[in-house]
Amino acid sequence: MLSKDTIIVIIDYGMGNLNNVKNSFNKIGFNPIITNDFHKIEKATHLILPGVGGFKDAMKELKNKDLIQPIKDAISNHEFVSFLGICLGMQLLFESSEEFGVTEGLGILKGKVIKFNENFVPIIPHIGWNDINIKKNEIKEFKNIKNNSFFYFLHSYYCKPDDGAITAASCCYYETFAACVKKDNIFACQFHPEKSHDAGLTLLKNFVS
């Protein structure tokens, strides 16, 4: 159950399938706000950073819309704010990405975003359904989600955390990579829960529970 004080906010920085994310929450009985208004962002109890596209362009849009500090401020409020990063929104949490040259990220999580090794991976991007190996099944986001459940992926780059202990689930696409990370009030996933049918909807419901 959500309390009357629960405010779910999807950050609009001009990149990402925002309505798909919103519609998925609507399906499970929640009504999030899509906005780039920092006044509304700072009032969020559940904050979502989605994203589709290039890391460099995404960081540029976040800077242009003055959203970097509001995001950092919200995440630092561990006791009152739960944060969800989706796909590119997960990658942006890290220190840098090598996509189109090195670009500085939000630096909230230590580590970098790297490309699949073309010497080992015959088809890039990684696109479609793949299963995840849940390493931290005690966290709330994985409640009622079985290990090796399938989720929908679409990416050419993946996150490489400095601290492997924050990896909550892994996935193998010729290489093993972090499919989800969990640290404090942050949960982030490389896959798209809004495109992942029942398992994805369960994860979103768990996030706001």
Residue 3, in any domain of the structure: no
In the block, tokens 């849940």 appear at 134
Angle, alpha carbons 41-23-10 (nearest 5°): 15
Q: Which of 46, 87, 155, 180 is catalytic?
A: 87
Please say if the pLDDT value at position 67 is more than 70: yes
Residue 194 annotated among the catalytic residues of the structure: yes
Mean pLDDT score of the chain: 95
Residue 13, in any domain of the structure: yes
- What's the number of domains the chain is made of? 1
Residue 118 annotated among the catalytic residues of the structure: no
Mean pLDDT of 48-70: 96
Residue 95 annotated among the catalytic residues of the structure: no
Please say if the pLDDT value at position 167 is more than 60: yes
pLDDT at 203: 98
Mean pLDDT of 155-180: 98
Mean pLDDT of 165-177: 97
pLDDT in tens, 111-147: 999 999 999 999 999 999 999 999 998 999 999 999 9
Residue 126 identity: H
pLDDT confidence band for 58 (50 / 70 / 90) = very high
Q: Which of 126, 141, 155, 194 is catalytic?
A: 194
Contact 56, 100 (CB under 8 A): yes
Supply the CATH number for residue 170's domain.
3.40.50.880
What's the Cα-to-Cα distance from 44 to each of 22, 62, 104, 179, 208, rounded to whole Å? 15, 18, 26, 25, 12
Rounded CA separation 193/21 (Å): 8
Residue 82, in any domain of the structure: yes
Given 3-state DSSP classes, what are the helix, strand and coil percentages for the chain, each rounded to the nearest 5? 30, 35, 40
Residue 50, in any domain of the structure: yes
User: Residue 24's domain spans which residues?
Assistant: 8-208
pLDDT confidence band for 79 (50 / 70 / 90) = confident
Residue 176, in any domain of the structure: yes
- Report the candidate in 157, 163, 204 with the shortest Cα–Cα distance to residue 32: 204
pLDDT in tens, 174-209: 999 999 999 999 999 999 999 999 999 999 999 998
Contact 192, 200 (CB under 8 A): yes
Mean pLDDT of 64-69: 97
pLDDT confidence band for 77 (50 / 70 / 90) = confident
Contact 67, 58 (CB under 8 A): no
pLDDT at 21: 97
Q: Which of 46, 126, 155, 192 is catalytic?
A: 192
pLDDT at 17: 83
pLDDT confidence band for 1 (50 / 70 / 90) = very low
